[in-house]
Structure 1
Amino acid sequence: MKAWGGRFEKETAAVMDDFHSSIHFDCRLAEEDIRGSIAHARMLGDCGIIGVDEAGQLIRGLQTILERVRAGAVSWDPKAEDIHMNVEKLLVAEVGEVGKKLHTARSRNDQVALDTRLYLRREIYHLQGLIGELIEILLERAEAEQATILPGYTHLQRAQPVLLGHHLLAYFEMFRRDYQRLDDCLKRTVLSPLGCGALAGTGFPIDRDRVARELGLAGVTGNSLDGVSDRDFAAEFIFDASLVMMHLSRCCEELVLWSSMEFQFVEMDDAYSTGSSIMPQKKNPDVAELVRGKTGRVYGDLMAILTMMKGLPLAYNKDMQEDKEALFDAVDTVVGSLSIFNPMVKTLRFNRDRMLAATRDGFLNATDLADYLAAKGLPFREAHAVVGRLVQYGIKHGKRLEDLSLEEFKEASELIAADIYETLDMTRVVKVRNSAGGTAPEQVREQLERARAWFATLEAAKG
């Protein structure tokens, strides 16, 4: 008979057991479930709710089961429905009837909420470790590419030249925000709902704070109805994971483009590329494409949990069993993506000559010519029009701006003098963009210094 079967006259249908059971996916909460149960058992004994000797038996039995779980020596029973009832069944087999006292003063509702929070705390730390690893790679690569010039793009059209180090530091900013968002999510995750019971709390004289402290949590949830029915922390995490994937996908999109024959800005390492079964010449950026594709999967997980929660009245509803597969999938996808994205970025090769050559076509110094005229007193809108006509002239005659003669320049504006060629030099075009956060070498060095200092605080916090 089921643990809840006392009021039922017959067993559930086999198809119901299969549909209802969650052990095939929530078994990954086993360690969290056992650790939470150990803390709960110790509290029950210390508060005099069960005997101290009984609590000791429960704790020793749970520790034995935990060792078996870690050794992969446990077989989960679908008929026991979920990880909680499976652990209880194993405990009763291990210590006898006293095992049935473990569930005193708690419900599976507050138990699963605790397990999920403990699991997510562990995975946030893991994910932050991978993001930190990526940030370190980006900083190393940005430092090595402080002098590399390439076209910057808007609308995927060549716009103005930038330093590759500056470009890479833009991704540092994205992933730093991701790291910080996970820190913030952690604040709302590390609260213990244990003691909320099914929805209304419990009549036993429990000590919720004691359990929270033993589990390394920051405190307890403040309302029992909310404590068992809140999944904001899980939805928030999947949203944060979606942004991580979005940033990975944006970088992957650029790498797919940059590795094409049309760009030839990068070459992927052979270890992170594939070929074609029919075209011998192909080298495909499959890692970047797969990460880009998996981004939609995490977006789907976010939509799944938001949709599942949107119509639920207080407090716990069985719909909420569906939170875990979405959460687990998001965790697995973002962790898996970062685990292969990081070495791919570490090993890719930049084609510096090709990048620099690409800045010579497309009139990337046109804005500097307009700024030159504006600095001489011509209103910028008029300067913009003058340069636009010069660009059109260059297109018709197959000339870059820097290839025009001084006479051709003066036909457009008498304000243009011989110093215009220095102004149009691509290295100078980059150098003059010295506004805070700009692409000038001085600014990139400052950005790197600030980034290194921030990263050092992460490393110090680990130690």
Structure 2
Amino acid sequence: MAKMMWDGRFQKATAADVAKMNSSLGFDQRMYAADIAGSIAHATMLAAVGVLTDTERDAIVGGLRGIQADIESGTLAFDNGAEDIHMFVEEELTARIGEPGKKLHTARSRNDQVATDLRLWMRGELATLTAMIGELTTTVIAVAEAHTSTVMPGYTHLQRAQPITFGHHLMAYAHMFVRDLARLADAGARANVSPLGAAALATTTYPIDRAMSAELLGFDAVMGNSIDAVADRDYVVEVAAALSLFMMHLSRLSEEVILWSSAEFAFVEIDDAYATGSSIMPQKKNPDVAELTRGKTSRVFGHLLGLLTMMKNLPLAYNKDLQEDKEAIFDVVDTVRLVVPAFTGMIATLDVREERMREAAAGGFTNATNLADYLVTKGVPFREAHAHSGALVHYCIEHGTVLEDLPLEVFQAESDVIEDDVYGFLDIDACVARRNIPGGPAPAAVVADIAAVRSELATLRISAGAQ
């Protein structure tokens, strides 16, 4: 059993089962670059305030950079006997440079060290996720732009309701994704503060410069309370919550793609590269990307609940329970990073069946509201107009026809204010075009919406790049 750096007070070696349970190196090793960056900043600050000599600082910084280079080249393997990434790096550093390596932990605890590492790691991951979700949003907008005039039925209660366009429908998701990006940006801003210098919970007696450490690491500020600095995991929960909302939105679109690609809808066909087949049924083309996305959403939700449950009874300040935050948030991020590229490709390559969408929009009395609106233009109160329109729909159902094909005399038998101009209101394209108000489905309104969302998306991406 490897000697622990904290075991001076102990008379017995840690039991093997306890060491196995206690070790986090198997998953926190992915934070090695953040750990090394934090240690370089800490050593640089300690030298600036006179706690280390410049020679000691240079030896520590050089040793740490060598360790990072060797990890990344594959010449240095992680030692499974190490307790965590922090101890692995410090032990390796001391083995390489001797006494100066033992001084690195001055004025620092693993409590503020791990909090710093996790915030640094998360900052990098948020930049990657922002770029990926931004690319997905750009793809959705591009497909919407190609279908600003592609008429389809809009649904409520999964029943055909009113005619819209496919572009209008997709832009609803573009708005959701932009909100998701904004939430990630907000979470990232709150995460980008430095806990370094809080030490175990009560800072240190050394004359450290927390602001300098924060600046060296690119943090916007230092945390104002040392207890909060080591006990806080709000930023982990917040990112998990933001990504849960994003996955919920992605899951809703997944469900629609699954429906749309079924023979019963036949609105779209998924490209062969983004579907799979059956081991027994030769004709099958399964929407596995959408189904896996829908399934993995539950996985992300589970981690969010796990994080909240872990935190709810923890007294201040640090508790070992907090080690459980990493596997949860690592898997949340990994899951989203796995899903988004495949989903983006699936959306980009969808074969949209425009005629089938139009046929569905024309076949479900989606223009019935427009008939009621027409009657209102003739002075009929809306409630009466609604009743007249409903009665005419019933007539169509009984006679196997649609509103736009009814003879004028049938209309006039229901309401004598109806004239020849009613047919212009019932045309499916006209139904859509008349809804030319901000947020509406009219092609012109969707084009304006696309421009606005693209501008908002560009602003979010610029802000994320600045961070």
Check whether TM > 0.5: yes
For the residue of structure 1 that corresponds to 2:153, the secondary structure is strand
What residue number does 1:64 align with? 66
Gaps in structure 2 of 5+ consecutive residues: none
Deviation track 1:41-85 (CA, whole Å, cap 9, x = no partner) reads 111111101221111100100000011122133222233211100
Q: 1:314 aligns with which of 313, 316, 334?
A: 316
Measure the CA separation in 1 of the matches of 2:100 and 2:207. 20
What residue number does 2:348 align with? 346
What residue number does 1:268 align with? 270
Q: 1:245 aligns with which of 247, 250, 258?
A: 247
What residue number does 1:178 align with? 180
Q: 2:155 aligns with which of 153, 156, 170?
A: 153
1:258 CA drift (Å): 0.3
Measure the CA separation in 2 of the matches of 1:342 and 1:178. 16
Q: 2:437 aligns with which of 435, 438, 442?
A: 435
Residues 1:116 and 2:118 aligned together: yes
Q: 1:457 aligns with which of 449, 455, 459?
A: 459
Measure the CA separation in 1 of the matches of 2:461 and 2:23. 42
Q: Does the aligned pair in 2 maintain the 1:291–1:337 contact within 8 Å?
A: yes
1:355 CA drift (Å): 0.7
Measure the CA separation in 2 of the matches of 1:315 and 1:168. 46
Measure the CA separation in 2 of the matches of 1:132 and 1:36. 29
Measure the CA separation in 1 of the matches of 2:51 and 2:27. 33
Q: Indicate the RMSD between aligned Cα atoms, in angstroms.
A: 1.2
Q: Does the aligned pair in 2 maintain the 1:244–1:334 contact within 8 Å?
A: no
Measure the CA separation in 2 of the matches of 1:55 and 1:145. 61
1:331 CA drift (Å): 0.3
What residue number does 2:383 align with? 381
Identity %: 54
Q: Does the aligned pair in 2 maintain the 1:199–1:225 contact within 8 Å?
A: yes
Q: Does the aligned pair in 2 maintain the 1:18–1:78 contact within 8 Å?
A: no
Deviation track 1:365-422 (CA, whole Å, cap 9, x = no partner) reads 0000111111211111111111111111111111111121111111111111111111
Residues 1:255 and 2:257 aligned together: yes
Q: 1:229 aligns with which of 225, 228, 231?
A: 231
Measure the CA separation in 1 of the matches of 2:236 and 2:75. 30
Q: Does the aligned pair in 1 maintain the 2:261–2:269 contact within 8 Å?
A: yes
Deviates more, 1:131-140 or 1:192-201: 131-140
1:458 CA drift (Å): 5.0
Deviation track 1:328-347 (CA, whole Å, cap 9, x = no partner) reads 00000111111211111111
For the residue of structure 1 that corresponds to 2:286, the secondary structure is coil
Measure the CA separation in 2 of the matches of 1:426 and 1:181. 38
Measure the CA separation in 2 of the matches of 1:276 and 1:354. 26
For residues 361-372 of structure 1, what are the structure 2 equivalents within 5 Å? 361-372=363-374
Q: Does the aligned pair in 2 maintain the 1:192–1:212 contact within 8 Å?
A: yes
Measure the CA separation in 1 of the matches of 2:18 and 2:240. 30
For the residue of structure 1 that corresponds to 2:81, the secondary structure is helix
For the residue of structure 2 that corresponds to 1:434, the secondary structure is coil
Q: Does the aligned pair in 2 maintain the 1:149–1:162 contact within 8 Å?
A: yes
Q: Does the aligned pair in 1 maintain the 2:438–2:449 contact within 8 Å?
A: no
1:167 CA drift (Å): 1.2
Measure the CA separation in 1 of the matches of 2:333 and 2:149. 37
Q: Does the aligned pair in 1 maintain the 2:28–2:84 contact within 8 Å?
A: yes
Measure the CA separation in 2 of the matches of 1:306 and 1:355. 43
What residue number does 2:33 align with? 31
Q: Which amino acid aligns with 1:108?
A: R
Residues 1:218 and 2:220 aligned together: yes
Deviates more, 1:69-78 or 1:306-315: 69-78
For the residue of structure 2 that corresponds to 1:196, the secondary structure is coil
1:457 CA drift (Å): 3.5
Residues 1:296 and 2:298 aligned together: yes
For the residue of structure 1 that corresponds to 2:163, the secondary structure is strand
Measure the CA separation in 1 of the matches of 2:438 and 2:324. 47
What residue number does 1:423 align with? 425
Deviation track 1:264-308 (CA, whole Å, cap 9, x = no partner) reads 111111111000011100000000100011000000010011000
Measure the CA separation in 2 of the matches of 1:125 and 1:72. 26
The two structures have a TM-score, normalised by structure 1, of: 0.98
1:10 CA drift (Å): 0.3
Measure the CA separation in 1 of the matches of 2:197 and 2:306. 28
Gaps in structure 1 of 5+ consecutive residues: none
Measure the CA separation in 2 of the matches of 1:442 and 1:141. 16
What residue number does 1:128 align with? 130
Measure the CA separation in 2 of the matches of 1:48 and 1:95. 20
What residue number does 2:288 align with? 286
What residue number does 2:190 align with? 188
For the residue of structure 1 that corresponds to 2:154, the secondary structure is strand
Count of matched residue pairs = 463
What residue number does 1:143 align with? 145
1:319 CA drift (Å): 0.3
Q: Which amino acid aligns with 2:169?
A: H
Deviation track 1:195-230 (CA, whole Å, cap 9, x = no partner) reads 001000110000111111111110110000000000
Q: Does the aligned pair in 1 maintain the 2:131–2:461 contact within 8 Å?
A: no
The two structures have a TM-score, normalised by structure 2, of: 0.97
Q: Which amino acid aligns with 1:453?
A: S
Q: Which amino acid aligns with 2:380?
A: L
Q: Does the aligned pair in 2 maintain the 1:196–1:225 contact within 8 Å?
A: yes
Q: Does the aligned pair in 2 maintain the 1:139–1:448 contact within 8 Å?
A: yes
